[in-house]
Structure 1
Amino acid sequence: MDSIQRKKLVNELISLIEKGNAHVSFKESVTGLPSELRTIIPENLPYSIWQLVEHIRIAQKDIVDFSSSAGSESLAWPDDYWVEPTDTVTDEDWNNSLQQIEKDQQRFQALLEDEQHDLFAPLPWGTGQSLLREAMLIADHNAYHTAEIVVARRLLKSWK
Structure 2
Amino acid sequence: MENEQIIRKELADMINKGNAHATFEDAVKNISKENRTKVPEKLPYSLWQLIEHIRIAQWDIIEFCKNPDHQSPEWPKEYWVDNLEPTDEQWNNTLNTIRQDRNDFLEYLADLNNHLYKPFNHGNGQNLLREAMLISDHNAYHTGEIIILRRLLNDWK
TM (norm. structure 2) is 0.97
Distance 2:17 2:82 in 1: 28
User: How do residues 1-160 of structure 1 correspond to structure 2 at under 5 angstroms?
Assistant: 2=1, 4-86=2-84, 88-160=85-157
Unaligned runs of 5+ in 2: none
**Counterpart AA for 1:81:** Y
Q: Which ranges of 4 or more aligned residues in structure 1 deviate by more than 3 Å?
A: none
Structure 2 letter corresponding to 1:54? E
AA aligned opposite 1:14: A
Q: Separation in 2 of the partners of 1:24 and 1:129? A: 28
Task: Give the total of aligned pairs.
Answer: 157
Contact 1:20/1:139 (<8 A) preserved: no
AA aligned opposite 1:70: P
Give 1:27's aligned amino acid.
E
What do the CA deviations read for 1:105-146 (whole angstroms, capped 9, x no partner)? Answer: 112111111111110110111111000000000001011111
AA in 2 matched with 1:107: D
TM-score (norm: length of structure 1): 0.95
Flag structure 1 segments of 5+ consecutive residues without an equivalent: none
